[in-house]
Amino acid sequence: MPIRASPRRPDYEEHQISGEPRYTGPVKPFRWDLSKPEQLGTLVEGAAPSVSSGFYDLLRTCCARVLAFSDNALLVFVGRSPESLFDYLSGLLAWTSYPDRCCLLNISNRHETISSIRDEDPDALHGMQEHLRELRLDPQSIISDAYPVAFVDFVADGGTFAHLSELLIGWARAERLNVKTLCGLVRFIGITQAMKTSPNTWRWQQHAPWLNDYPPSAVCNVSMPLDLWSWLANYQDKVSETNPPERWNDPAMKLPPRFDNNLAGLRFALQVYNDGRSTTHRRRFATELSKTTGMRHAWFRTLALELKK
């Protein structure tokens, strides 16, 4: 898997007159690196949060299915709802040959179209484009890397996916890139609420005409019990601050959030990440992977064997 990284560059430069910093780089929302707990200091002091085995059983099943449906893609977890999926998978994969398989894209935009943002706040759109470039998730990088990218998010009506697609396709067309090639490398994995299957069941992808730009295999869903889905999506304390369009170019997003709910979220995230790194959880995850259709792929079987070690 290629390493998606960009050269480091200074984010701030000094004004020649005032001496105050002027922001010049992309606004990537701050998030602590859980793989470096020594940098967290007293932020994570206190009793570890209680995590039930039932929580992990459901989280493990969801993560296994996301991987199975990913087509060996880079997993890009969109927004803050899938933070626990990102943290658990990051811990599980830390000692495998896929340590960089997961990426966070902290954006929140379920309702505003890209065209309206462009008209009302072009600086915000530019900020998001710079953010995507830094993560090598811009159309040029995706096409150049020729490696699939799977966006993963908790889905109600698919609005966030729709606007992300609008941004990528419009951007590709503006740069005269091959849109068909781009769409062939992008997948969308929706985390949905579990419900009874029937011909009348509402499915978000059946009401998403924008998906016509993509092959049928580009979209799939992984269901989760409603109570867990609702807690993770709506009520769980989050590590990061929300990042709606009006903050896409706000340098304050680069600063560590220190509100009580963010610190509670950080302690929980570190617990989930560390549990994922443990031998017990890795072996249980390997067993869960063996139950999925992903086992027909060589890369997936190799990963399952690595997790058993």
Annotate the chain with three-state secondary structure: CCCCCCCCCCCEEECCCCCCEEECCCCCCCCCCCCCHHHCHHHHCCCCCCCCHHHHHHHHHHHHHHHHHCCCCEEEEECCCCHHHHHHHHHHCCCCCCCCCEEEECCCCCCCCHHHHHHHCHHHHHHHHHHHHHCCCCHHHHHHHCCCEEEEEECCCCHHHHHHHHHHHHHHHHCCCCHHHHHHCEEEEEEEECCCCCCCCCCHHHHCHHHHHCCHHHEEEEEECHHHHHHHHHHCCCCCCCCCHHHCCCHHHHCCCCCHHHHHHHHHHHHHHHHHHCHHHHHHHHHHHCCCHHHHCHHHHHHHHHHCC
Is the Cβ–Cβ distance between 240 and 106 less than 8 Å? yes
The answer as to whether 11 is a domain residue is no
Cα distance between residue 264 and residue 50, in whole Å? 12
Cα distance between residue 189 and residue 78, in whole Å? 10
pLDDT for residue 200: 66
Is the Cβ–Cβ distance between 208 and 162 less than 8 Å? yes
Q: What is the pLDDT of residues 44-76, one digit of tens each?
A: 887 767 788 899 999 999 999 999 999 999 999
Q: Tell me which residues of the chain have a pLDDT lower than 50.
A: 1-24
Domain span at residue 229? Answer: 52-307
The share of the chain scoring above pLDDT 70, in percent, equals 90
pLDDT for residue 9: 34
The answer as to whether 65 is a domain residue is yes
pLDDT for residue 258: 83
The answer as to whether 37 is a domain residue is no
For residue 173, the Cα-to-chain-centroid distance in whole angstroms is 24
pLDDT for residue 266: 94
Domain count, the chain: 1
The answer as to whether 15 is a domain residue is no
The answer as to whether 283 is a domain residue is yes
pLDDT for residue 1: 43
Closest CA to 151 of 244, 45, 76, 83: 76
The answer as to whether 44 is a domain residue is no
The answer as to whether 249 is a domain residue is yes
Q: 252-270 burial, b for 16+ CB within 10 Å, e for fewer? A: ebeeebeeeebbbbbbbbb
The answer as to whether 70 is a domain residue is yes
pLDDT for residue 206: 86
Cα distance between residue 90 and residue 211, in whole Å? 29
Is the Cβ–Cβ distance between 191 and 89 less than 8 Å? no
